[in-house]
Structure 1
Amino acid sequence: MTLFPQTRLVRKSGRCNVKACNMKHRRLQFFLDGYTSLLECKWHLLIFIFLVSFVMTWILFSLMWYGVYNWHQNQKRDNAVNWKPCILNVKNFESIILFSIETQTTIGYGSRDVSEECSLGVFLLVVQSIFGAMLHALIAGTILAKIQSPAKRAKTVLFSKQACICLENDELCFMVRVGNLRRSEFVGATVRALFLAHKLTAEGDFLPHHLHEMAISLPESKVQNHLWWPATIIHRINESSPLFGISPEILKDSDFEIVILLEGGIASTSMAFQGRTSFKPSEIKWGYRFSPMFDRRNPFGLHHEVNFDHFDSVRLDATSPMMSASDWYYTRNRNADKNNFIRQRCVSNGSVLAMMLD
């Protein structure tokens, strides 16, 4: 039964392919969480918002300064010898806009300033200076947080384009390769695998998006959770595995998705990140295993060379059975029971065949 033949939950780029629909008051909720909304904006939209914020605040405070300027001008008396304007060297609205920009950006050319005769102007000067400092801090913090986003670090984490199913230590295993392009290590990296498929419960309820946790191990280096070199993620297909009853023939017509999650911390910034990818049945190679990546041509060099040209390379494994894990275990156990029976008969008869069977 094919549910979603073209769509996948997680794209190869790691982006989650889920769209929320019919959300009430969505824009209001996003507005209340404004800082997170700014961080999730694209760069061109974020720059546009900052430019509009600057221009709008300059114009808004220019209108306030223009009102204060006219109010102080109306208080001018004909016989007042010591009268001073509220803003020195300001003659029209254009010069007030320049004064507003100089005040908020703390340029201070010195040609225009507020006189001590205007208390309202001094108060407005303090308000605009504080507002400008807060706006600059918000913009600088947002840009810095967006640059240091852990999602960018996940771009330098590689997952193999295909997965393999082959025999490993007399067990059928599902294998995925993962690698780190940077020299910076991962702190406490963990790998998870989720099996996404439809499921029919015992009560008859149909679950189109059921997630099943798949046990994962790193047999190449169990302590290598920092990924100094590319590692192979292995899921052993046993009785608790959702792949236990799937054969190569069934795999071609199956509709499921295996999501791989790599979570950990960045050693240089101590920030958490998550790398994601997924595999459809057409991206799983049965009877193949990954090729070695360590370059043996220069064994006495200063470095252990890892050839990333072989990161996605696979080679045929002739020892892997072209049957499901359940059939393989049944066949292997039946042969083992038969050999045990022959060994017992030979030992009882003192035959040399018992030693050959060992």
Structure 2
Amino acid sequence: MSVLKNRINKKKKANKQTGFGTNASNYGGRFINKDGSANVKKIGIPILERISWYHTMLNISGIKFMCIIFVFYLLVNFVFASLYCLIGVEHLNGIEPSAFVQNFGQAFFFSAQTFTTVGYGHISPVGFWASFVASIEALFGLLTFAIATGLFYGRFSKPKAHIKFSENAVIAPFQGGKALMFRMTPYKNTNLTEAEAKVNLGMIVEENGIEINRFFSLDLEYDKINALTLSWTIVHPITEDSPLYGFTEADFKKNNGEVIVFVKAFDEMFSNTVAISSSYMFSEIVYGAKFSQMFDDEDDTITVLDLSKLNTYHKVEL
């Protein structure tokens, strides 16, 4: 990050409660990723200790989650089918020993029936070892399905802020001056109320010859709204009290900074508070632009919110 010198309003008090620290040498390109996750890589302990698999399974995409479940299901049945073949398919009553591929296929489907506790009954284990493996697989299947059911429930019941942010922020005309603006909107049929936003500006500055991280709370035109049903444009007026006061288009291009956004709202469906965060680097701020309106009326009977226009803007003169 380029070091900003003599560009910060000295009257603006730094925010020391961000949790990011002041040591400029620990800066890794950005503090918060676009998806709201912290841009942090943890090392020093084994991977199994630093990763919560439960949280991972709840947070991955639905396609990845289903693929993991399917691959795990195939892998488990492959392992148990191999054990049945190792014991000998003659110990599975109802299977006529033949070619290996056919034997393995029959053992695989017997494993699937045992693992899911379906048990059609046309194949049954005979002897101690075959019965022992089948009983272990049945127990393993019950425990696995209990865990899978919990994960499915957790994914569906987890409160989540279904909010999208604009890809870019803009510097737009505002009340005879200019302001930093970005916007957000709910994209699912949720009912969010009491929405609240906090915005910080993070930069590396030089003080007394030492490079340090400095964070500033950005004053907003409105930091709370009663209901988040349409789009909400967050506006930071760039007044003399703003740390961005005096910044030109060239300053945004040649320097690096990060606008960090924290939003929380009350979701009436979950009867719980949901939160989301994101950030905008200076390179993602368009100087001299204004967002296009996202909503309009339809036959004077309903308001139509066009989500495809979330990041639509047009250039304007400042």
Band of TM-score, shorter chain: 0.5 to 0.7
Q: Identify the residue that residue 301 of structure 1 maps to in structure 2.
A: 300
**Residue 260 of structure 2 is aligned to residue 259 of structure 1:** yes
Unmatched tracts of structure 2, length 5 or more: 5-28, 98-102
Q: How many residues end up aligned between the 2 structures? A: 286
Q: Identify the residue that residue 10 of structure 2 maps to in structure 1.
A: none
CA displacement at 1:153 relative to structure 2: 2.8
1-structure distance, mates of 2:307, 2:114:
55
1-structure distance, mates of 2:294, 2:60:
39
Which structure is higher in helix share?
1
1-structure distance, mates of 2:249, 2:71:
58
1:47-126 to structure 2, matched below 5 A, reads 49-62=68-81, 88-90=93-95, 92=97, 94=104, 95-114=106-125, 124-126=133-135
1-structure distance, mates of 2:124, 2:253:
78
Over the matched positions of the two proteins, sequence identity in percent amounts to 16
Describe the SS at the equivalent of 2:196.
strand
Q: Identify the residue that residue 180 of structure 1 maps to in structure 2.
A: 186
Which structure is higher in strand share?
2
1:275-290 to structure 2, matched below 5 A, reads 275-280=277-282, 283-286=285-288, 290=291
> Which residue, 177, 188, 195 being the options, matches 1:189?
195
State the TM-score, normalized to the length of structure 1.
Answer: 0.60
Q: Identify the residue that residue 79 of structure 1 maps to in structure 2.
A: none
2-structure distance, mates of 1:196, 1:233:
17
1:339-358 to structure 2, matched below 5 A, reads none
2-structure distance, mates of 1:143, 1:160:
31
Describe the SS at the equivalent of 1:211.
strand
When the two chains are superposed, the root-mean-square deviation of aligned CA atoms in Å is 4.4
Greater length-normalized contact order (CA 8 Å, ≥ 6 residues apart): 2
State the TM-score, normalized to the length of structure 2.
Answer: 0.66
What per-residue deviation string (whole Å, max 9, x for no partner) do you get for residues 275-302 of structure 1?
A: 524152672435x655656648x7x711
1:104-253 to structure 2, matched below 5 A, reads 104-114=115-125, 124-143=133-152, 145-146=154-155, 153-154=162-163, 157-159=164-166, 161-168=168-175, 173-202=179-208, 204-207=209-212, 209-218=213-222, 222-224=224-226, 226-238=227-239, 240-247=241-248, 250-251=251-252, 253=254
Describe the SS at the equivalent of 1:278.
strand
Describe the SS at the equivalent of 2:118.
coil
Unmatched tracts of structure 1, length 5 or more: 74-85, 323-358
Aligned-partner residue type, residue 222 of structure 2: L
Contact 2:58–2:154 (Cα < 8 Å) also in 1? yes
Contact 2:292–2:314 (Cα < 8 Å) also in 1? yes
